[in-house]
Amino acid sequence: MVQEYGLFFNGKWHKSEGKRFDTRNPATGEVLATFPMATPAEVAAGIKAAKGSFEKWRKTPAPRRGELLLEAARIMKQKKEELGRVVTSEMGKVIAEGRGDVQEAIDFYTYAAGEGRRMFGETVPSELPNKMCLTVRMPVGPVGLITPWNFPVAIPGWKSGAALIAGCPIVFKPSSLTPLCGAKFVDCLDEAGFPPGVVTMLTGSGSNVGDGIVAHPDIRAVSFTGGVDTGKHVYESAAKKMIKVGLELGGKNAIIAMDDANLDLLMDGVMFGAFGTAGQRCTATSRLIVHERVYDSVVGELVERAAKLKVGNPLDEKVDMGPVASADQEKKVLEYIEIGKKEGDKLLTGGNKLRGGVYDRGFLIQPTVFATDRKKRLANEEIFGPVLSVLKAKDYEDAVAIANSVKYGLSSSIYTNDLRWAFRSMQDLEAGITYVNAPTIGAEVQLPFGGTKETGPTDTREAGTTALEEFTYWKTIYVDYSGRLQKAQIDTAKLVGG
């Protein structure tokens, strides 16, 4: 019996008047659950509940809010295996990565809980005597969290952990491809005991429900992860209300392989970076830029290793790569493979949808490698699938120029044992993240995460202490305990030199 979910607001699941949609396993086609498309009235009701909880939630001492986050982390830890299997069944990443997805939410909730006892402001000297100046963080109000399907527990975990500890009620809209992961995550928050209204989950299409959340006057910040075009639309809509927006919009991330790189280490990194999550991470390694002196040996090894990867049902522990997440993703990836062939890129391995037997039910594509050059579409556009483009560079400067030539700037990496290239690349690569001797994926929650260029505006960062910026504003407080009117800039003239 397929479970029929409702909408979560005011501390419980509600039946919806909206039409329903299925969520399916991308490896088998099996229907996992059904969800409602929230109607405009239901979106309004969810946001009203969030708004209604704000006063009480913001006044709940931050360390107490932190205790609830810790409790949610404990519950997720207890249910990690079950949640990990839901991630893998609904999204298609291999089970080790499904568990990792959940672990990331556990880690961030644990980290953010501690922020409840820090959330530091500043005390700043006044220019006048007997006066004190300080800054405190204020929660912005109810916030909208719009999330994609590729990290269906981790990304909601990052966004909600920061919002909740800051004192903001959340209105969460998961991707329509992964609402079951969203619902299981919300069940953990509910079990942890967040007060009614503080957690809301609304399902339905981005263009209706997502748009409705972003545009609603009571939503005071939006955190969005997804595609560039949607992100730009969200940015414009939020700008009309003058609210904060965090945008994380993907990348065309490169690993640079210098001629002194350790080949084994490089290959391990490239396999994980390019084909982990079937290449559907915003930080996935989409380009490998190789020094011409080692190009042939790197390509030889790469093709051998990629061809050996086992593709199949991601719940099978022995499988290296699962399906892509949906029919649309599959279509897009196969189209890019055709574009590569038409533009004359050399297909080195893969390039096909897997067919026959169990493969016919899933969106399974071979790990694919093309040799291309910097002018081609495969070298510039985000594919978001298991397709790696290899490019040849003359030297370090040429490799960096290629790496920086795309419109994105999320993650980057260099493999080298030469300190000159390692340290120069940290400054030279136009990206929010640079790895040395590790692939472009593998972010840790205690550090800022985000990019530059069309990956998104640089004024917000998820994770780390910087995550609070998305959901708080600074209030400046002046306390004058002199007992008389003191005028800044005017009375100070008398004070100089006594």
Give residues in contact with ligand NDP (CB under 6 A): 146-150, 173, 175-176, 205-207, 210-211, 214, 225-227, 230, 233-234, 248-250, 282, 332, 382, 384
CA-based nearest residue to 286, from 452, 436, 407: 407
Closer residue to ligand NDP (CB): 213 or 266:
213
Closer residue to ligand NDP (CB): 399 or 406:
406
| Alpha carbon distance 214, 144 (integer Å) | 7
- 191-205: b (≥16 Cβ within 10 Å) or e: ebebeebbbbbbbbe
Q: How far is the CB of 442 from ligand NDP (least distance, A)?
A: 15
Angstrom distances, CA of residue 407 to CA of 185, 229, 302: 34, 13, 26
Q: How far is the CB of 283 from ligand NDP (least distance, A)?
A: 8
Q: How far is the CB of 344 from ligand NDP (least distance, A)?
A: 24
Q: How far is the CB of 322 from ligand NDP (least distance, A)?
A: 16
Closer residue to ligand NDP (CB): 35 or 111:
35
Closer residue to ligand NDP (CB): 206 or 464:
206
Starting at the edge strand found earlier in the chain, the sheet holding 31-36 runs: 3-4, 31-36, 20-24
Q: How far is the CB of 221 from ligand NDP (least distance, A)?
A: 14
Closer residue to ligand NDP (CB): 170 or 299:
170
Closer residue to ligand NDP (CB): 150 or 425:
150
| Alpha carbon distance 375, 100 (integer Å) | 36
Q: How far is the CB of 296 from ligand NDP (least distance, A)?
A: 31
Decide: helix, strand or coil at residue 290. Answer: strand
User: Would you list the DSSP string of 297-338?
Assistant: HHHHHHHHHHHH--BS-TTSTT-SB---SSHHHHHHHHHHHH
Asked if 469 and 165 count as a contact pair (C-beta separation under 8 A), the reply is no
User: Would you list the DSSP string of 419-478?
Assistant: HHHHHHHHHHS-SSEEEESS-S----TTS-B--EETT--TT--BSTGGGGGGTEEEEEEE
Asked if 167 and 140 count as a contact pair (C-beta separation under 8 A), the reply is no
E strands, 190-284, in order: 199-201, 221-225, 244-248, 253-257
Decide: helix, strand or coil at residue 17. Answer: coil
Asked if 427 and 412 count as a contact pair (C-beta separation under 8 A), the reply is no
| Alpha carbon distance 383, 329 (integer Å) | 9
DSSP state of 379: G
Strand partners, 143: 170, 221
Closer residue to ligand NDP (CB): 176 or 253:
176
| Alpha carbon distance 84, 81 (integer Å) | 5
Q: How far is the CB of 224 from ligand NDP (least distance, A)?
A: 7
Closer residue to ligand NDP (CB): 63 or 227:
227
Angle at 179 (CA atoms; ends 154, 326), nearest 5 degrees: 90
CB-closest chain residue to ligand NDP: 206
Q: How far is the CB of 45 from ligand NDP (least distance, A)?
A: 19
Burial of 257 (0-12, 13-18, 19+ CB in 10 A): buried
Question: What is the rounded (10 degree) CA torsion for 429, 432, 434, 439?
Answer: -120
Closer residue to ligand NDP (CB): 78 or 207:
207
Q: How far is the CB of 33 from ligand NDP (least distance, A)?
A: 15
Looking up tokens 């990990």, which residue turns up?
84
Q: Which residues are part of the catalytic machinery?
A: 248, 282
- 379-400: b (≥16 Cβ within 10 Å) or e: bbbbbbbbbbbbbbbeebebbb
Closer residue to ligand NDP (CB): 69 or 146:
146
C-alpha R_g of the chain: 24
Q: How far is the CB of 144 from ligand NDP (least distance, A)?
A: 8
